[in-house]
């Protein structure tokens, strides 16, 4: 299947958590690329929430309980290899659940699903 390009998810200005990225229509590949916004407030990581139904979200962690963390390099693209991105709904967070970083303005990610 050819890549589908999605504008979003979006973290609104004065917020740290995005709206949902819906991967329920993705093929077997799921989410494979995240292009970071050109502007970014602070040295904030990305952490994630996941939902099967789009309503009940949970923190995304490794089997040892540590959060999955992505370092943000503004205006860059991260290529993903893990099966965790295959299906469901994801929210992106600036910072962590215990230390969210409020974004000064709206930040829009660009994603590619397969």
Strand partners, 93: 17, 47
What ranges do the domains of the chain cover?
A: 4-113
**The whole model's pTM is what?**
0.94
Contact call for residues 74 and 40 (beta carbons, < 8 A): yes
Taking residue 29's Cβ as centre, other Cβ atoms within 10 Å add up to 15
14-38 residue pLDDT tens:
999 999 999 988 877 899 999 999 9
2-16 residue pLDDT tens:
889 999 999 999 999
57-81 residue pLDDT tens:
999 999 999 999 999 999 999 999 8
Q: What is d(CA 64, CA 59) in angstroms, rounded to the nearest whole number?
A: 13
Strand partners, 4: 113
Strand partners, 51: 89
| Fold (CATH) for 4-113 | Jelly Rolls (2.60.120)
DSSP per-residue string spanning 73-91: -TT-EEE---GGGSSSEEE
């Amino acid at each position: 299947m050819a890549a589908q390009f999605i504008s979003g998810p979006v973290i609104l200005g004065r917020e740290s958590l995005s709206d949902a990225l819906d991967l329920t229509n993705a093929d077997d590949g799921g989410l494979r690329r995240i292009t970071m916004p050109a502007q970014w407030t602070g040295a904030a990581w990305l952490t994630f929430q996941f939902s099967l139904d789009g309503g009940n979200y949970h923190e995304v962690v490794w089997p040892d309980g540590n959060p999955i963390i992505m370092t943000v390099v503004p205006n860059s693209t991260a290529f993903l290899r893990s099966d965790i991105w295959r299906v469901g709904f994801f929210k992106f967070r600036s910072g962590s659940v215990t230390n969210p970083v409020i974004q000064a303005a709206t930040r829009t990610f660009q994603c590619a699903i397969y």
